[in-house]
Chains A and B, each alone.
Chain A
């Protein structure tokens, strides 16, 4: 859309290019004075003509190119930043994922071996007492083979579980219902990685409510199940039995429960 008509444009052009006669100039200048829109057009046209000679089109093209160069560099910086940010995000996500796995593992996927390392310790307090009592006049032992039991308990105390097993075996073959012998035989089997054998000895003691070392039997039995495949549910059930105020294993049992529940 043209702001002025073609004839008027020609007049403006002729006026500014010095192509008008004197009387025509005077007449046109009168018209300019009375027409503000025309005056604005002429003023702008004059301004353009006085400035356009200063316009170096090549320099403008160069400046546009330099601006693009700057813009490209900045965009690349942003892209690089975004790329690095993306990498950081990916790295952070991976770390979070690993941390989550670690937490998940430490909560519910911690292995039986890890639980044994963290919590398990073969019973020693009662073993000391028993060892001291065997052979002493006050030890209420209805069975005569105290030397074999003493040797077995001695080997147990020294952590020589493998060597203790045949000694306990000898004693139990003679006295199959000896609860203490069965308990420590079960503990030795567990520590010798014979979990099925250990369960066989410990299980009856764990349900024997009259057995004063029943908690020791349950504690070891629970670890047998923790080491066994698909035994975690049973292990949890045994650990929960030990989560009582009067159990010497309460604190550790709760620790295990927190990790496997």
Chain B
């Protein structure tokens, strides 16, 4: 059983999310995925939309928790997360110029959604999806360089290549990633 499932102490969950504990993320999936489905599927969304919006909302939530001054004033993590989901889905519908009912707008506006960087979390989600389809050697090269912030020398040592080789590798992998994103419909639609 998930350790957050029966715990009403929000501090524990918030701390776990700040540390990006997998078990906390899993708790959100188990507890809130079906509710996200209800929100999106009942408002002209598809299963694929649910998957994307849920991932984007997780990223948005984690980005919020990365901000040192971020605090949830009244809401629980779960309600705040669903607020992000609704906000993101509303942005998505607006971007597609869908007609949105007043009721839905009112519901969205009543939810606490400050501090959510919609564009950034959407872009990171997009980046994540395209990063995921890169070849494994590209993924590890970019991860070492950018997420683990290792130097060219360190990466070369880890991968067993020359520094020059990993430098070119990094450049090529970034190029693949950029081309993949540039060619995607999502990028053309939402970020251009």
Q: Which residues of chain A from 33 to 71 have a CB within 8 Å of any chain B CB? A: 40-41, 44-45, 47-49, 51-57, 59-60, 62-64, 66-67, 69-70
Task: Report the count of interface residues on B (CB-CB < 8 A).
Answer: 39
Contacts known (A48-B127, A56-B20, A57-B131); A63 close to B58, Cβ less than 8 A = yes
Stretch at the interface among A2-10, A98-106, A185-193, A223-231: A2-10
Closest to B124 in A: A51
> Across the interface, do A53 and B147 meet the contact criterion of CB distance under 8 Å?
yes
Residues of B within 8 A of A157 (CB): none
In the complex the two chains form, what is the Cα distance from A141 to B191 in whole Å? Answer: 117
Contacts known (A60-B131, A69-B29); A48 close to B177, Cβ less than 8 A = yes
In the complex the two chains form, what is the Cα distance from A47 to B117 in whole Å? Answer: 14
Q: Chain B at the A interface: mostly helix, strand, loop or mixed?
A: helix
In the complex the two chains form, what is the Cα distance from A249 to B44 in whole Å? Answer: 70
Is there a chain A Cβ closer than 8 Å to B92's Cβ? no
Bitwise, B170-192 to A at CB < 8 A (1) or not (0) is 01001101110111000100011
Is there a chain B Cβ closer than 8 Å to A254's Cβ? no
Residues of A within 8 A of B171 (CB): 9-10, 13
> Across the interface, do B120 and A51 meet the contact criterion of CB distance under 8 Å?
yes
> Across the interface, do A55 and B146 meet the contact criterion of CB distance under 8 Å?
yes
Bitwise, B49-83 to A at CB < 8 A (1) or not (0) is 00100110010001100000000000000000000
Contacts known (A60-B132, A70-B33); A44 close to B26, Cβ less than 8 A = no
Is there a chain A Cβ closer than 8 Å to B139's Cβ? yes
In the complex the two chains form, what is the Cα distance from A2 to B175 in whole Å? Answer: 9
Across the interface, B182 reaches (CB within 8 A) one of A13, A44, A57, A69, namely A44
Residues of A within 8 A of B55 (CB): 63, 67
Closest to B172 in A: A9
Contacts known (A53-B147, A53-B149, A70-B29); A44 close to B178, Cβ less than 8 A = yes
> Across the interface, do B178 and A45 meet the contact criterion of CB distance under 8 Å?
yes
In the complex the two chains form, what is the Cα distance from A44 to B182 in whole Å? Answer: 8
In the complex the two chains form, what is the Cα distance from A18 to B85 in whole Å? Answer: 38
Shortest A29–chain B CB gap in Å is 19
> Across the interface, do B20 and A59 meet the contact criterion of CB distance under 8 Å?
yes
> Across the interface, do B178 and A66 meet the contact criterion of CB distance under 8 Å?
no
Contacts known (A62-B26, A70-B30); A55 close to B131, Cβ less than 8 A = yes
Shortest A160–chain B CB gap in Å is 77
Contacts known (A10-B171, A13-B171, A63-B55); A52 close to B146, Cβ less than 8 A = yes
> Across the interface, do A49 and B25 meet the contact criterion of CB distance under 8 Å?
no
Residue of B20, B139, B147 ringed by the most chain A CB atoms within 10 A: B147
> Across the interface, do A48 and B147 meet the contact criterion of CB distance under 8 Å?
no
Closest to B176 in A: A2
Residues of B within 8 A of A52 (CB): 127, 131, 142, 146-147
Q: Which residues of chain B from 111 to 135 have a CB within 8 Å of any chain A CB? A: 120, 123-124, 127-128, 131-132
> Across the interface, do A9 and B22 meet the contact criterion of CB distance under 8 Å?
no
Shortest B155–chain A CB gap in Å is 14
Residue of A41, A45, A57, A69 ringed by the most chain B CB atoms within 10 A: A57
Residues of A within 8 A of B174 (CB): 13, 45, 48-49
In the complex the two chains form, what is the Cα distance from A41 to B20 in whole Å? Answer: 32
> Across the interface, do A67 and B127 meet the contact criterion of CB distance under 8 Å?
no
Known: A48-B178, A55-B147. 15 other contacts (CB 8 A): A3-B182, A9-B175, A40-B182, A40-B192, A47-B191, A48-B177, A51-B124, A54-B124, A59-B22, A59-B25, A59-B62, A63-B25, A66-B25, A67-B29, A67-B33
Q: Which 5 A-B pairs have the closest CB atoms?
A: A66-B29, A52-B146, A62-B22, A13-B171, A70-B33
Question: Can you report 20 A-B residue pairs in the complex whose CB atoms are below 8 A from each other?
Answer: A3-B182, A3-B183, A10-B171, A13-B175, A44-B178, A45-B174, A48-B177, A49-B146, A51-B124, A53-B146, A53-B147, A57-B131, A57-B143, A59-B20, A59-B25, A63-B29, A63-B58, A66-B29, A67-B33, A67-B55
